Chain A
Amino acid sequence: MFRSTGILHRLIRCWWVGSLLSLAFAIGIGCAGKSVLAAEPGPKIYTANGRADSLSAETLREIFFMRLTSWPDGTPIRVFVLPDKHPLHVRFSKEILGVYPFQLRAAWDRLVFSGTGLTPHVVETVDEMLERVQVTPGGIGYVNK
């Protein structure tokens, strides 16, 4: 009994220390990386009529996590994304939504296999993204700046 509680305490302590250290580390990397990224063209949200241009990061996150499902006018939101590994998808997830691609994938998988939501449509290229978003009512995706 004594032994197992001891292990638990030690593990929990390690866990907290690890979390704090990595948080500090991540903030450091985030600050250092910013100036490099600003020089390259980045991801930009895209809709056919520009209606998402002024949306906040939080609202975009709700849309791309497939939790917000209709536009203010009642049109269903149809989300388009590039494959998980596509460099633009990775940058869009991190820079616009502030999350990692694996978090999006995990959330979409949970929605689908618990029957509580739909997944985004996956397109293979940025050209296909442009084309599909333009012709789909309520479509939203992202392109290069």
Chain B
Amino acid sequence: MTPVMRIITSRSIARPFLIAAGVFLSRGVPALDFSTIDWQLHGFASQGFTYTTSNQVFGASRGGSLDFTEVGVNGSVRLLPNLLFSVQGLYRNAGGSDREDFRLDFAQVDYNATLFDSALTLGVRAGRVKIPFGLYNDTRDVVWTRPSVILPQSIYFDTLGLRQAMIAADGGLLYSRYNWGNHRFNLEFMVADPQDDTGDATEFLTGIPDAPGMMEGRPLFLGRAVYEWMGGRARAMFSVVDLDRDFRSDTATVPSGNIQALYPLFSLQYNEERWSLTAEYGWVASQRSGFTPVPLESTSEGFYVQGEYRLNEDWSAVLRYDVFHADRDDRSGRSLAEQTGQARHRFYARDLAVGVRWEFVRNWLVAAEYHNVDGTAWLSPHDNSDLLQGGGDPHWDLFSVMLSFRF
């Protein structure tokens, strides 16, 4: 047991706080029983090193970049068996792709009720909540919960501005879980205000560099349906995000407009003792109106197939093929290149990745991977200013190592 866990489980530090909390709460909630309160503190710290043969990922990676740091600390208090408060602070640096530094990742309250002999659970979660999208989105900043240092970029954009709007949102979600023998069904529905004024999300959504103005309008809708067999031995999932936002420009030279996007995602996973197979397929159908005389419509697509193999408890390996097309009706990028004057490789990316991870001491891991990439579609324009001037290398390699500790 680590010292931190010993402190947490023995609750020696907790006692004065709990007494204070108990005294405070006992005024309003006289029946609150003290012995029912549980709390935990957890966190992680990860440092990455990225090297690319050409193009830049997470800082100036052509010469080797250390601009990939993820540090988070969270606390959860269970006041009643079915009432949980939790908060997480996050520091993240990813070169030009993420310049937000410290942020409040989530701050939420979760309440649920179980019915029919605990077979059905109905719950509500509110505050700043993580966006439950696909297999990895809600904990994607923690290398321990993702299969590789760099997630499949066709689905989980990490270098593009849209990332900020996909991580967490302010609002609430309703969820239900139903168990029937070895089958488990899970439904979530979320209504929340996305953080699309943060980072480069506004710029990404409007397509206007340094877009001067505010995003507003209808909150995002999200739905996710999950089916699990045998505690997750097999898992099938459908998630969908529906975004309808207005950009209100601050200046007369830049027009205001509306952005609509629908992002459905299908996910499949099968887990055996030694290996796991995972695949996800999704597309973003978007429409921008008001910025140009004629509304711009496009539908991108992304998918990957991934295999993980566990050599033993400490070592595992991952192999993945990940594809992104900016327009699924123009997979070669030829007509987009003609329309925009940009290079063809800006509109697709095919990434073959192989990696290993090693948990060398309990709660410490090192993960290393190699990517062979054809195309530059998901590269950050902030780290690659030459891309907008027709530069960039369509064939490139990426090497990444990450060291992480958690408690």
Residues of A within 8 A of B (CB): 1, 4, 7-8, 11-12, 15, 18-19, 22, 26, 58-59, 61-62, 65, 67-70, 74-78, 83-85, 97-103, 106-107, 109-110, 112-119, 121-124, 137
CB distance B1 to A15 under 8 Å?
Answer: no
For residues 104 through 163 of chain B, which have their beta carbon under 8 Å from a beta carbon of chain A? 106, 108, 110, 114, 118, 121, 125, 130, 132, 138-139, 141-142, 144-145
CB distance A102 to B310 under 8 Å?
Answer: yes
B305 at the interface (CB under 8 A from A): yes
Quick one: given A103-B231, A124-B1, are A15 and B78 in contact (CB under 8 Å)?
A: no
Q: How far is the CA of A75 from the CA of B80 in the complex (A)?
A: 9
The number of residue pairs between A and B whose CB atoms lie closer than 8 Å in the complex comes to 132
B72 at the interface (CB under 8 A from A): yes
Q: Give the residues in chain A near B144, CB-CB below 8 Å.
A: 109, 113
Q: How far is the CA of A103 from the CA of B233 in the complex (A)?
A: 8
The secondary-structure label for the interface of chain B is strand
Quick one: given A1-B331, A98-B230, A119-B40, are A12 and B139 in contact (CB under 8 Å)?
A: no
Q: How far is the CB of A109 from the nearest CB of chain B, in Å?
A: 5
CB distance A69 to B82 under 8 Å?
Answer: yes
CB distance B177 to A67 under 8 Å?
Answer: yes
Q: How far is the CA of A78 from the CA of B37 in the complex (A)?
A: 11
- Chain B residue nearest to A19 (CB atoms) is B270
Q: How far is the CB of A91 from the nearest CB of chain B, in Å?
A: 13
CB distance A113 to B72 under 8 Å?
Answer: yes
CB distance B1 to A123 under 8 Å?
Answer: yes
Quick one: given A70-B81, A114-B130, A115-B108, are A58 and B38 in contact (CB under 8 Å)?
A: no
Q: How far is the CB of B286 from the nearest CB of chain A, in Å?
A: 21
Interface size class of B (residues with CB under 8 A): 35 or more
The listed residue (A59, A75, A98, A124) touching B36 by CB distance below 8 A is: A75
CB distance B121 to A67 under 8 Å?
Answer: yes
Q: Give the residues in chain A near B177, CB-CB below 8 Å.
A: 67
CB distance B145 to A113 under 8 Å?
Answer: yes
CB distance B305 to A15 under 8 Å?
Answer: yes
One of B83-91, B197-205, B218-226, B250-258 at the interface: B83-91
CB distance B142 to A115 under 8 Å?
Answer: no
B179 at the interface (CB under 8 A from A): yes
CB distance B332 to A1 under 8 Å?
Answer: yes
Q: How far is the CB of B227 from the nearest CB of chain A, in Å?
A: 15
CB distance A118 to B38 under 8 Å?
Answer: yes
- Chain B residue nearest to A116 (CB atoms) is B110
One of B15-23, B272-280, B290-298, B395-403 at the interface: B272-280
- Chain B residue nearest to A59 (CB atoms) is B118
Q: How far is the CA of A60 from the CA of B276 in the complex (A)?
A: 24
B99 at the interface (CB under 8 A from A): no
Q: Give the residues in chain A near B142, CB-CB below 8 Å.
A: 109, 113
B26 at the interface (CB under 8 A from A): no
